[in-house]
Amino acid sequence: MTNPDLPDDLDRSVGERALELARDQLRDQPQSPHAAEAAGRVLARALAAPRRATTIETSDPLLQVSSVALVALLRSTLAAEVADAAVRRIRLDVRDRGRLHAVHVELVARYGTSVPRSAEAAHVVTRRVLAETLGAGPAPGADAVAHHVHVSDVTRGDPHLAEPLDEDQAGDA
């Protein structure tokens, strides 16, 4: 799979080696007794930071929905209703003064899960949440929006808790 944002002659192995080196260096650092305290402050600041949002049209011309609220609603509903898969990322494609054009959902699946079944469940949940939130109909509702579901990684553990990239190292230790 090629990425149109990267040059064709880019040597990815250099970046991968640098990332592995940085990861190993961080893992070798001694844990400070105040690390959890600092991590809590960092997380609190990140959560308090303003998020850029756009408003999305609904079938009611007097009502609009925040993109941040819609993503949060999609994320929580998908987490509750799609078994053995977790949302890694949701991207909304909003065009034409607030019209939702597409929803891109990226999942992490548990190893052994039926990927087509998880993707279809994510499609069904996404369509339902959009219809309930934006309203049905040809304008901004669920029927007019393209839904793209992509499983980007697989994990042996609970996909809601595991960080799949860390599993390679856990098996080597």
In CATH, which of 3.30.413.10, 3.40.50.2300, 2.40.128.630, 3.30.70.1350 is domain 55-172?
3.30.70.1350
- pTM for this prediction: 0.63
- Predicted confidence at residue 164, as pLDDT, reads 47
Tokens of 73: 């609603």
| Average pLDDT over every residue of 153-165 | 71
- pLDDT at residue 11 tops 60: yes
What does the alpha-carbon distance between residue 58 and residue 127 come to, in Å, rounded to a whole number? 14
CB 83 within 8 A of CB 121: yes
Tokens of 170: 């856990």
Task: Please give the mean pLDDT across all residues of the chain.
Answer: 77
Domain boundaries, the chain: 55-172
pLDDT tens column, 18-60: 777 777 776 777 766 666 666 677 777 777 777 678 899 998 8
Nearby residues of 122 by Cβ (< 8 Å), 6 or more positions away: 78, 82, 85, 105, 107, 149
SS3 call for 136 = coil
Tokens of 72: 């949060």
